Structure 1
Amino acid sequence: MGAEQIRRWESGALAHAVSDPFGQGPLPWLRGSENYFDDTGQVVPWYADLALARGTGGGTRTADDVHRQIKGFISTGAAAPGEAIDFHITVDPPQQFSVDIYRIGHYGGDGAAKITTSPRLSGIVQPPPLTADRTVSCHHWWQSWRLQIPTYWSIGAYVAVLTTVDGYRSHIPFTVRDDHPADLLLVLPDITWQAYNLYPEDGRTGASLYHAWDEQGRLLGEEDAAVTVSFDRPYAGAGLPLHVGHAYDFIRWAERYGYDIAYADTRDLHAGRIDVGRYRGLVFPGHDEYWSVPMRRTVEAARDGGTSLVFLSANTMYWQVSLSPSPSGVPDRLLTCRKRRGPGKPALWREVDRAEQQLLGIQYAGRVPDPHPLVVRNAEHWLWDATGADEGDEIDGLVAGEADRYFPRTTLPQHENRILLAHSPYQDSEGTTRHQETSLYRAPSGALVFASGTFAWSPALDRPGHVDPRIQRATANLLDRICKHA
């Protein structure tokens, strides 16, 4: 990304389009993908809920980080039924607003269901974000609303839709979890989401682990980005993480077919709040690039105890990170990744001499500028049963965004058996032919470890325009075997 001036509301999309060709996809609580840009450059959605779609004052439009019409965040991580979530919201100009709570799921194809609506709330203009060494934080914002989660609510991925009286809208994602056993634990990659968060996209103060702004409002690269980012701030733009759609694609598909799923965030793994041994499998449905030492230790222990692992993206566990408390002492509110700056220990897992292949079976190879077919390998394997896929068949567009492969000179994990289920040529940005691979191995504990090796796997499950029945069937074959249904 050059340092040219760009329209502020496009910055995040432009900065990361190369690493996520799917963007957020159709927002999951919308009916279909009917999003369009109005004449001010803002995204205008059609909501599944027609009353929301009509809004007031002639419709709704998405809030932005320049005017901050309505923006917010929650001051906790995932919460359980019976617990509370505190919302911190700024509204400019001050006016009343409401919060509609949606739960992500299949819901007859709608993609989500509205669970509740807040009372009409009084909005205030919160103080400007605090910045220090590129770290942006809003931990000093007043509490705007407390959501007491009823004990009867279903666990899952939720989105709060914030709407002002004059029709501006923003979003806040959150997770409701509990500690009851289930077949599968779905792990939402909130640490990676925050790493990419450029809030505020105002051309001045926003920063992520990838980008920051200079005095002329130009977007700078990694060498000038933040080293530490805060969870105490909204997500940029519409308020949703850049890669959130990958997780929601899997959730809609899995709930449609009735898989028994529990939910958690990656910070739950980091903090040890989850007993991973009570699940048959852990599913990592989206781009999950940033891992702490406790996260990896927990997941390796799960595998070694017989819990299977399913990685449905690429570039997993690439950077090693640490988490620390907020200025007020709340744990795990600051995320730090040094990357390649300054002396000290390296930040890439493979440079720490603990390459990600030692857990995944494959590891990150590079970006895929244009989508390429996934080429089926070992088609006689049970993963490809009933898919109709034959040896060498090409599944169009399934190698996209970023790709993993097997590195012969890198140590493999201990395994009883191991197989590569795809071997797919693609052209990198220099025109060089490289290969993507999909991996499956069985650990000595009996756990299966699957890594798709591409960004496009989860969207093929339930993203309009990307669904592929062969990938749906292959994923079901894998999960059914893990859940002992096969």
Structure 2
Amino acid sequence: MGADHIRRWESGALAHAVSDPFGQGPLPWLRSSENYLDDAGQVVPWYADPNLARGRSGGPRTADDVHRQIKGFVSPGAALPGGSIDFHITVDPPQQFSVDIYRIGHYGGDGAAKIATSPRLAGIVQPPPLTADRTVSCHHWWLSWRLQIPSYWSIGAYVAVLTTLDGYRSHIPFTVRDDEPADLLLLLPDVTWQAYNLYPEDGHTGASLYHAWDDEGRLLGERDAATTVSFDRPFAGAGLPLHVGHAYDFIRWAERYGYDLAYADARDLHAGRIDPGRYRGLVFPGHDEYWSVPMRRTVEAARDGGTSLVFLSANTLYWQVELGPSPSGVPDRLLTCRKRRGPGKAALWREMDRSEQQLLGIQYAGRVPEPSPLVVRNAEHWLWEATGAGEGDELPGLVAGEADRYFPRTALPEHRKRILLAHSPYRDGDGAVRHQETSLYRAPSGALVFASGTFAWSPALDRPGHVDSRIQRATANLLDRICKRD
């Protein structure tokens, strides 16, 4: 396969680069040619094993979607302690492999801790993915390994690291959750992660809700993309979703400071497995663009029942989606969003007279090609207390990726009080001046609803090179109020 062809299939990841100005985040080992350094110039380990974190020569190499040295997915994506996670893995050429299980957290500055290692497992070449109308599915892959989750494991965000005997590596994220009450419930945006998944990124087969390939291996846009994508397939490239680092940034920071966190996925929200009354706040830490009707209904009911909402990204609740069963009948394994293609109703929430702003207080305004400062507004408000931020202060690089703002002609949610805490100019892709805004309102129930209005908020909490102490303190001010039911 020639270099020119490789460049074409690699462009799938590059197509989304404008919306992820933070690169690969806390995953330095995805880029073997670059060291991942903190502000003091020290290598930051994500794995507990510093040799892996530093990517030393002779260490594991990242598998790809063309050769599929080792790739896999899990079902379900979240399970309770005492439950199980099924791994479906392909290995080419066939050989033994192992699975190391890491839990994302602070762990004294490491980004994760190794929790368990599988026995050596026999790897096989699974059948090629099945495709129908651009939908790619591997639901027919054989079971490779069943992870029985011990009852004593901590709930949280986990990553399985797959490594072949000859040193190729890939990854699979999953969640361990429970139903116990907690101050805050963290919701991982697995629905949005799957919408962006272009697996297999091979210049031929893969498709997401954004892209597909033509017969020449060229990347096509939304008009030719999939309308339905499957959770029964690996994530493209190294096996971790686009923007996954935004959630991990929040987790490391929140666990470092001892917040009482529960964990769940967006599909748990969709399926009714979450009782919002068990939590003082629901936290949406990363890019969370795709929502089903049950997801929105549950979150609105949570707010109306007094549970606060914290949205730490932008472009939230933009597309309406449906979740359906796999061909074998397993629920919530297919994600459908028709966008603007074909007959039927629009898929944008705002075009159905149910704008995002009616929940968030602001809504999506557009992409931000180059990071710009976040300009503090209403600095006397308690959110900015003890941050050192004054009225009109500029927080460098804090408006990035995508931005939200208040739309004056769009309905607001019912509220007792409402305030905008940032008003930040930036230039869009055409050079026109736009504005980003950060919103906070108190619902009639007493619940607080915060929306950062920028992709850069979570990385500012705990990503080396992006940390901003003012954002850290402002976030703590918010969560402390929510946890104390103030």
TM-score, normalised relative to structure 1: 0.95
CA-CA distance at 1:102 after TM superposition: 0.1
- Residue by residue over 1:387-445, the C-alpha shift from the partner in whole angstroms, topping out at 9 and shown as x without a partner, is 00000000000000000000000000000000000000000011100000000000000
The corresponding residue for 2:466 is 466
Residue in 2 aligned with 1:261?
261
Asked if residue 128 in structure 1 is aligned to residue 124 in structure 2, the reply is no
Q: Are residues 154 and 376 of structure 1, via their aligned partners in 2, closer, same or farther at CA, if it must alter by over 3 Å?
A: same
Contact persistence 2:8–2:219 (CA under 8 A): no
- Distance (whole Å) between structure 1 residues aligned to residue 8 and residue 103 of structure 2: 30
Residue matched to 1:161:
161
Shift in alpha-carbon separation, 1:120–1:9, aligned structure 2, 3 A: farther
Question: Is residue 211 of structure 1 aligned with residue 211 of structure 2?
Answer: yes
Matched, 1:36 2:32: yes
What is the deviation of 1:10?
Answer: 2.9
Cα shift readout 1:6-29 (whole Å, capped 9, x = no counterpart): 6256323311001111133122xx
Residues 13 and 23, structure 1, Cα contact 8 Å, conserved in 2: no
Q: Give, in whole Å, the separation in 2 of the partners of 1:149 and 1:314.
A: 34
Q: How does 1:62-461 map to 2 (within 5 A)?
A: 62-461=62-461
Distance change (3 Å), C-alpha of 1:154 and 1:48: closer
CA, structure 1 residues 56+108, in 2 after alignment: closer, same or farther (shift >3 Å)?
Answer: closer
CA distance in 2, matches of 1:49, 1:9: 31
Query: Once the 2 structures are TM-superposed, how far is the Cα of residue 153 of structure 1 from its aligned partner?
Result: 0.2
Residues 34 and 469 from structure 1, CA distance in 2 versus in 1: closer, same or farther, beyond 3 angstroms? farther
Letter aligned with residue 318 of structure 2 = Y
Contact 1:57 1:166 in 2 (8 A): no
Q: CA separation in 2, counterparts of 1:119 and 1:56? A: 25
> Which amino acid in the other structure matches residue 344 of structure 1?
G
Uncovered stretches (5+) of structure 2, i.e. residues with no partner: 35-44
What is the deviation of 1:302? 0.1
Question: Offset of 1:52 from its aligned partner?
Answer: 5.0
Would the aligned equivalents of 2:292 and 2:322 in 1 still touch at CA under 8 Å?
yes
Distance 1:393 1:57 in 2: 45
In structure 2, what is the Cα distance between the partners aligned to 1:407 and 1:425?
A: 15
CA distance in 2, matches of 1:237, 1:336: 22
Please give the per-residue CA displacement for 1:90-117, whole angstroms capped at 9, x wherever unaligned: 0000000000000000001101000000
Whichever residue aligns with residue 192 of structure 2, its letter is T
Q: Secondary structure at the match of 1:12?
A: helix
Contact persistence 2:47–2:112 (CA under 8 A): no
Structure 1 residues 135 and 34: CA distance shift in structure 2, 3 A: closer
Q: Which amino acid aligns with 2:396?
A: D
| 3-state secondary structure, aligned to 1:183 | strand
Deviation at 1:277, TM superposition (A): 1.2
SS at match of 2:383: helix
**2:386 alignment partner AA:** A
Task: Give the Cα separation in 1 of the matches to 2:213 and 2:342.
Answer: 21
State the 1:264 CA deviation. Answer: 0.3
Deviations 1:57-104 (A, max 9, x none): 932100000000000000212100000000000000000000000000
Do the aligned partners of 2:321 and 2:335 also contact (CA within 8 Å) in 1? Answer: yes
**What's 1:42 paired with?**
none
Is the CA contact 1:439–1:451 (under 8 Å) kept in the aligned structure 2?
yes
Q: Report the Cα distance in structure 1 between the residues aligned to 2:54 and 2:320, rounded to whole angstroms.
A: 45
Between the aligned partners of 2:54 and 2:257, the Cα distance in structure 1 is 32
Residues 442 and 449, structure 2, Cα contact 8 Å, conserved in 1:
yes
d(CA) in 2 for partners of 1:23 and 1:270? Answer: 30
Identity %: 87
Query: Residues 249 and 462 of structure 1 are in contact (CA less than 8 Å); yes or no, is this contact kept in structure 2?
Result: yes
Q: Is the 8 A contact 2:30 2:238 kept in 1?
A: no
Distance 1:71 1:7 in 2: 21
Tell me the distance in 2 between the aligned counterparts of 1:201 and 1:269: 29
Give the conservation status (yes or no) of the 8 Å contact 1:53–1:59: no
For 1:304 and 1:208, the matched residues in 2 are separated by 35
Over 3 Å counting, the alpha-carbon distance change for 1:164 and 1:46 in structure 2 is farther
Give ranges in structure 1 of 5+ residues lacking alignment. Answer: 39-44
CA contact (8 A) 2:104 2:111 kept: yes
Using the TM superposition, give the Cα deviation of residue 276 of structure 1 relative to its aligned residue in structure 2, in angstroms: 1.0
1:37: Cα distance to partner?
A: 3.2
Does structure 2 retain, via aligned residues, the 8 Å contact 1:34–1:46?
no
Q: How far did residue 259 of structure 1 move?
A: 0.1
Contact 1:56/1:166 (8 A) holds in 2: no
Q: Which amino acid aligns with 1:398?
A: L
Residue type of the partner of 1:37?
S
Count of paired positions: 473
Q: C-alpha offsets along residues 227-280 of structure 1, whole Å, 9 cap, x if unaligned?
A: 000000000000000110000000000000000000000000000001111100
Give the match's secondary structure for 1:71. Answer: strand
CA contact (8 A) 2:12 2:211 kept: no
Give the deviation of 1:343 after TM superposition: 1.3
Query: Are the aligned partners of 2:26 and 2:46 in contact in 1 as well (CA < 8 Å)?
Result: no
Contact 1:6 1:218 in 2 (8 A): no
Amino acid at match of 1:11: S
Q: Look up the SS of the partner of 1:255 in the other structure.
A: helix
Contact 1:291/1:317 (<8 A) preserved: yes
